[in-house]
Amino acid sequence: MSDRTPVQNAELALLLEVTGTPKPGNVDRDREFSDLRFEHFMAGAVGARPGLERAGAGDRLGRAFERAVAGMADQSAGNTQFGALLVLAPLVAAASDGELTPDFVDSVVRGTTVDDAADFYRAFEHVDVAVDDPPDGLEPLDVRRGSDAVPVLEARGLTLFDVMEQSADVDGVAAEWAGQFERVFAAAERILADDGPVSERASRAFVELLAEERDTFVVTRNGPEAAEEVQRRAKAVLDGDEDAAELADDLVERDINPGTTADLVAGALFVALERGLVV
């Protein structure tokens, strides 16, 4: 078993996530965009570290997340790992408390406060994150308002868990917060049961998650039809009817980027590393 701390494993999970290839539609070791390159993910992971350290030290979870995002954004390409950090922060907090289980992570996220929610909103001031317009009546809580929304959070007494629960239907990361990180823990077990290089396991876990549910980031940016197409073609890859590398090239070409699925892979790699995945 490695001597790495949970914070080190979280950083390594971010690095291994982007190392996995092919990860259809996402930046990986073989594919990048001219304005969002592999090197930006390296700098994002290193920059996020002080925030992850706060999560590991038991600081307020929202604040730890906001600091991780601020550090992640300290590179020239903007958002690289916002969603992945939102997955990782509670997992690191739970692991550092010695209990990386669905029940305990659930208690961590349910223990968040209105202050954590305010931190979460502030985190959106560091980077542009593609999000849906809020549902009718929830405009005052549009995350794009950043800290301007904090008085509304306070007036309504909304914790970070409440905020995530409200978005669980439309955001795959929020769904993990609201649902005991079920898909993350399941994917971690598949990664552990898999064999071969970690980068290949990460790629396979990515395609499996992609085939399992529509990627909510694709729904937001490219619409539900694109998300359904991606899910269908990921299933075809698993069935051997489509080539993962070709799917990857096509999605990159069309700027269809299943970012939420990548966020879940980062979480799954973290859990797998904590449970003994050998690199």
Give residues in contact with a copy of itself (CB under 8 A).
Answer: 2-4, 8, 11-12, 15-16, 19, 29-30, 37-40, 42-43, 45-47, 49, 71, 74-76, 197-199, 278-279
Least distance between a copy of itself and beta carbon 157 (Å)? 34
Least distance between a copy of itself and beta carbon 70 (Å)? 8
Report residue 159 as tokens.
Answer: 């914790």
Report residue 123 as tokens.
Answer: 């985190």
Quick one: 31 or 183, whose CB is closer to a copy of itself?
A: 31
Quick one: 149 or 187, whose CB is closer to a copy of itself?
A: 187
Q: Where are the alpha helices (DSSP H) in the chain?
A: 6-19, 38-56, 61-72, 82-96, 102-110, 114-123, 150-156, 160-167, 172-178, 182-193, 198-212, 216-222, 224-238, 244-253, 259-274
**Rounded distance, CA 177 to CA 239, Å?**
30
Q: Taking the CA of residue 110 as centre, how many other CA atoms within 13 Å lie in the half-sphere pointing to its CB?
A: 10
Quick one: 50 or 140, whose CB is closer to a copy of itself?
A: 50
- Please name every residue paired with 36 in a beta bridge, in sequence order, or none if there are none: 33
Least distance between a copy of itself and beta carbon 34 (Å)? 9
Quick one: 75 or 261, whose CB is closer to a copy of itself?
A: 75
CA separation, residue 273 to residues 12, 44, 103, 128, 147 (Å): 9, 20, 19, 30, 35
Least distance between a copy of itself and beta carbon 158 (Å)? 31
Residue 144 neighbours by CB under 8 Å, 6+ apart: 124, 131
Least distance between a copy of itself and beta carbon 197 (Å)? 6
Q: Which amino acid is at 47?
A: G
Least distance between a copy of itself and beta carbon 39 (Å)? 5
Quick one: 40 or 122, whose CB is closer to a copy of itself?
A: 40
Quick one: 4 or 145, whose CB is closer to a copy of itself?
A: 4
